[in-house]
Structure 1
Amino acid sequence: MRSLIIRTMTAGTVAALALGACSSNSSDGSAKGRSPYVGVILPDTKSSSRWETQDRPALTAAFKAKGVRYDIQNAQGDKTQFQAIADRMLKEGVNVLVVVDLDAASGSAVLAQARAQGVATVDYDRLTLGGGADYYVSFDNVDVGEQQGQGLTQCLAGVVKPVVAEVNGAPTDNNATLFAQGYNSILTPRYADGSYLKGPNESIAGWDNTLAGKTFSQMLATTPNISGVLVANDGMAQAVIAVLKAHHLNGKIPVTGQDATVAGLQSVLSGDQCMTVFKDPAKEAAAGAELAIDLATGAPANTATAMVPDTVTGKLVKSVMLTPEAIVKANVNDVIDSGAATKAEVCTPQFAAECAAVGVH
């Protein structure tokens, strides 16, 4: 995270977390004479499909590989449910609680409750500002934004004074703030020197895809000369692309994304989306599981070699930071090779020609 991270050692690459409305299966295991039990609370399925399609399977596989008892639940965007899941997990005796918060207030309440019971806590993917989690596992989210900004500028090469609209993530999500910090570090100098023109700029509450589509439709109505759209994730990018299709502008106006979802990859292949950013869920899940298991068994948390500041408390949080990867047509195979998506999922009959053209295997 550039200025936001103090690194003591370089970390690897990664993506995001788990999903699902239901409890996952658990498996008993032991390490160093103890039987660790890790609870994971995921945020929703509405903001991104990644939580269910990428992260839950990856996190489940990581815990199973270590023979560790675990429970993965999804709060489905409900703060009351988020708290109820935490209450149950803590009552059942989890050694470590891993959370992807819904917002700072509800996340902080759960983290404080766990801390009061002597349970180690890990913020996964999103840092809960003011929450005081013991550890944090994520990608370098400023880097994610920088890659989005760089990708958009590459797709706008040759366009004279393009008008750029920005569709930002939820204002309550610290990751959205970091993404914006990253892509604005690329775009702002271009606005300042007049090479780019700043278009409409809106944040989307709850990463709501439907709201993103409505908001962009209004943007296009008031600013019909939009030349490119910096969209903070793939889900909202699909909504923006739908609006562009309705105006026969898809493929003509570059759109960014993030998460490397199946729909996002298909849009990249078809040319409707300029690029996406891949945060390998297997790597993030492995890093999160390894850290959680170390904490649950009393082993040293040697993987947390970065320090990330909580901008609310001013304290540094011991962290595992992973490196994201920009995805364009030429390297879609990197996502498929990782196992985060399959050729069968991406290369449906509708996209068979596009897959063949870039050699998706």
Structure 2
Amino acid sequence: MRRGMFLATAAVAATGLLLAGCAGSDDDSGGGGGGTTSASTAKVGVILPDTKSSARWETADRKYLEQAFEDAGVDYDIQNAQGDKTQFQTIADQMITSGVNVLMIVNLDSGSGKAVLDKAKAQGIATIDYDRLTLGGGADFYVSFDNVEVGRLQGQGLEKCLTDAGKTTANIAFLNGSPTDNNATLFNQGAVEALQAKTDGGDYTVVADQAVPDWDNQQAGTIFEQMYTETGGKIDGVLAANDGLGNAAIAILKKNGVNGTVPVTGQDATDQGLQNILAGDQCMTVYKAVKKEADAAAALAVALATGGDTADLATGTVTDTETDQEVDSVLLKPEAIYFDNVKDVIADGYTTKENVCTEALADACASAGIS
């Protein structure tokens, strides 16, 4: 899984080669990547999952995918299922009927995702799992980040922040992602591995450990409040799987007047997450350069849609734990973000100073070197 991370330069080069190859094609005989189709007649369908689990799907993924397809001159249809499995299926049916020759999905769960992938494959449509692997789904490609490494960074981050706070022993709570999301399983795996020496040695005690259905932030707040009450407030650190869950925990910590004294992790480098870090309420987040992920997925989609060569686009494989089959994959490298490198996320163009640095955070932004 770890070999050959898909670097930005490689993604740009691959996309450039694809576009060059597509531009010269005028054979319309393709479909599902099986033949050669001109870019002008190729069509890619993309189904995003929701807006509730993370803001990134609409603020980042959509715009980067749109730009990549427009640059390639390929028709596309990007829709959001808003967490509704029935709507997810309806969108897929509409896209298949409309003549897409590649379908890219971010599944809501593996069962409903597999049903969509099976229907697409039965129609000769090439398939890509984007960000989340559909277990048992048999997609042609999978494009994501090294999600076990995401969890490791979170575990290492929590340990670092507890150490920086002078806490050599700690009660920690896990606020995990949706149990139906394979990524959440991988995040938890990495975090547990990173903290294992501390937990096995008795320095850290896991006093609460619970998944949040559908990554629902409102439910996360309720769950964490129950954790806090049941432990008598004796929680020293929170391993929250993403910024939304982290913010839900922070709200409860604020309610009890202890925000800023209990390190909280996150993921996705959302504006809210970065603001929480700058305010001192969140320990760290994990930045996933979504543009690289979108560009890599778009390069594959364009190649599949136009009958181009995909041989050099995958950088490795991952094992589908349900079927034991290897899935050709692109896995990108995540980055840990703390107070002193929040500026790197802004410098990378993922968000802007204007979005993050409110008037209340002006001094903190200056201290963090955000200009």
Q: CA deviation at 1:10?
A: 3.0
Question: Which of 305, 309, 313 is 1:296 aligned to?
Answer: 305
* Counterpart for residue 178 of structure 2: 170
CA distance in 1, matches of 2:361, 2:68: 31
Unaligned runs of 5+ in 2: 10-21, 27-37
CA distance in 1, matches of 2:56, 2:286: 12
* Counterpart for residue 214 of structure 1: 222
Q: Which amino acid aligns with 2:7?
A: G
Q: Please give the secondary structure, in 2, of the residue aligned with 1:137.
A: strand
- Give the alignment of 1:10-89 within 5 angstroms: 10-12=5-7, 32-33=25-26, 34=38, 35-89=41-95
Q: TM-score, normalised by structure 1?
A: 0.92
Unaligned runs of 5+ in 1: 15-28
Q: Please give the secondary structure, in 2, of the residue aligned with 1:277.
A: strand
Contact preservation (8 Å) 2:5, 2:333: no
Q: Please give the secondary structure, in 2, of the residue aligned with 1:332.
A: helix
CA distance in 1, matches of 2:358, 2:44: 37
Q: CA deviation at 1:6?
A: 6.3
CA distance in 2, matches of 1:148, 1:104: 25
- Give the alignment of 1:333-348 within 5 angstroms: 333-348=343-358
In the TM superposition, structure 1's runs of 4+ consecutive aligned residues that sit over 6 Å from their partners are: none
* Counterpart for residue 24 of structure 1: none
Q: CA deviation at 1:30?
A: 5.6
Q: Which amino acid aligns with 2:182?
A: N
Contact preservation (8 Å) 1:31, 1:297: no
Q: Deviations over 1:208-258 (max 9, x none)?
A: 101111111111111111100000000111110000001111100000000
Q: TM-score, normalised by structure 2?
A: 0.90
* Counterpart for residue 268 of structure 1: 277
Q: Which amino acid aligns with 2:71?
A: A
Q: Please give the secondary structure, in 2, of the residue aligned with 1:87.
A: helix
CA distance in 1, matches of 2:2, 2:103: 25
Q: CA deviation at 1:31?
A: 5.8
Contact preservation (8 Å) 1:294, 1:300: yes
Q: Deviations over 1:173-218 (max 9, x none)?
A: 0000000000000112211111111111000100010111111111
Pick the structure with greater CA Rg: 2
Contact preservation (8 Å) 1:145, 1:182: yes
CA distance in 1, matches of 2:313, 2:370: 34
Q: Please give the secondary structure, in 1, of the residue aligned with 2:329.
A: strand
Number of equivalent positions: 342
After superposition, the CA RMSD in angstroms is 1.4
Q: CA deviation at 1:66?
A: 1.5
Cα distance change on mapping 1:204 and 1:260 into 2, 3 Å: same
Q: Which amino acid aligns with 2:101?
A: N
Contact preservation (8 Å) 1:54, 1:281: yes
- Give the alignment of 1:1-361 within 5 angstroms: 5=1, 7=3, 9-12=4-7, 32-33=25-26, 34=38, 35-157=41-163, 158-223=166-231, 224-301=233-310, 302-361=312-371
Q: CA deviation at 1:32?
A: 2.2
After the TM superposition, which of the residue ranges 320-329 and 60-69 deviates more from structure 2? 60-69
Q: Please give the secondary structure, in 2, of the residue aligned with 1:216.
A: helix
Contact preservation (8 Å) 1:12, 1:321: no
Contact preservation (8 Å) 1:164, 1:199: yes
Q: CA deviation at 1:279?
A: 0.7
